[in-house]
Amino acid sequence: MTLHTESLRDHACLTVHGPDQAGLVAAVTALITRNKGNIVSLDQYSSDPEGGDFFQRVVFHRPDLQAALPDIQDDVAKTLKPYGMEHRLTDQSIPKRMAILASTSDHCLLELLWRHRRGELPVTIPMVISNHTNTAEDVRSFGIPFFHVPSQGPDKSAAEARIVELLAGNVDFVVLARYMQILSDSFLEKVGVPVINIHHSFLPAFIGAAPYRKAWERGVKLIGATSHYVTKDLDEGPIIEQDVARVTHAHTAADLQARGAYVERAVLSRAVQWHAEDRVIRHGNHTIVFA
């Protein structure tokens, strides 16, 4: 949870998950020790000690990490092979490259740009893509490239192709910051990196258009937001973070929407930060979040 203005030089993050087995933690920690790493933080979770799943995130400090990383990588693969675990080893000092897709709403977009500028998100932002132009000036004032990819008519394939072309090879994950276009299954495949979304309220309630109006008509006392990974099941992907705000009968549907915007930007920001820091492990339709 350390701020990214502090140095993360020579810090590596190793995440491991798969079927739980005796000796796993010992194997991983011995591996780090023999590679001259000193463990800074370790989070571990087993869904069930007998026949369950195992999840671990270890951050370790290793002088001259950059030079040693390939060797450590080899050792990790060799060590974990007999256990059949998935794993990922990253150099924490190398920020992930994050693209943002947006539409007219600016609240999630600007919050991310602003937190990034404050040094609170360990990412670079190579581009913002929008199907509208209204945020272009704001985005560029942060020194970040803005691309306009209009999305008109029923056929979105040309727009999607253009977006894939922009993203390909340039980004490590994509954030839909209130991007109001439905993406095709093939988009997800082609883009090939994790995509994080934010949606209003508590699905499956208030599906479809005008959700805040529907929530208002139902007389809810709380409104919420959920950030999740995008999968083929629209808005049903693994949840990363959720939060709510209290409302009363005296709020209009427009008030709900305004309050909801503040919940959305906070929830999405936390989800993005945790993803960027390798704190989120996907498992089936769940997430394990070592926040």
Going by C-alpha positions, the residue among 231, 237, 245, 248 that lies closest to residue 203 is: 237
123-130 vs 96-102, strand pairing mode: parallel
Give the Å distances, CA to CA, from 183 to 1, 231, 235, 258, 267.
32, 10, 11, 25, 21
Catalytic residue among 10, 53, 75, 235: 235
- In whole angstroms, give the CA distance from residue 108 to residue 153: 26
Q: What is the strand order of the sheet 195-200 is part of? A: 146-148, 123-130, 96-102, 173-177, 195-200, 222-229, 239-246
Instruction: Name which of 169 and 284 has its Cβ closer to a copy of itself.
Output: 284
Single-letter residue type at 82: P
Q: Is 159 in the site for a copy of itself (CB under 8 A)?
A: no
DSSP for 227-289, written as a single string:
EEE--SSTT-SPEEEEEEEE--TT--HHHHHHHHHHHHHHHHHHHHHHHHTT-EEEETTEEEE
Q: Is 285 in the site for a copy of itself (CB under 8 A)?
A: yes
The length of the chain is: 291
Instruction: Name which of 42 and 136 has its Cβ closer to a copy of itself.
Output: 42
Binders of a copy of itself in range 91-110 (CB under 8 A): 107, 110
Least distance from a copy of itself to the Cβ atom of residue 170, Å: 27
**Piece of 122-130, 157-165, 174-182, 255-263 that binds a copy of itself (CB under 8 A):** 255-263
**Piece of 85-93, 155-163, 178-186, 242-250 that binds a copy of itself (CB under 8 A):** 242-250
In the set 32, 72, 85, 121, which binds a copy of itself (CB under 8 A)? 32
Question: Does 235 participate in catalysis according to the annotation?
Answer: yes
Binders of a copy of itself in range 108-127 (CB under 8 A): 110, 114, 118, 120
- In whole angstroms, give the CA distance from residue 16 to residue 241: 21
Q: Is 133 in the site for a copy of itself (CB under 8 A)?
A: no
Least distance from a copy of itself to the Cβ atom of residue 142, Å: 10
- The residues that are catalytic are 235
- The footprint of a copy of itself (CB under 8 A) covers 1-3, 5-6, 20, 22-26, 29-30, 32-33, 38-46, 49-50, 55, 61, 107, 110, 114, 118, 120, 141, 202-205, 217-222, 224, 238-244, 248-252, 254-255, 258, 262, 266, 285-289, 291
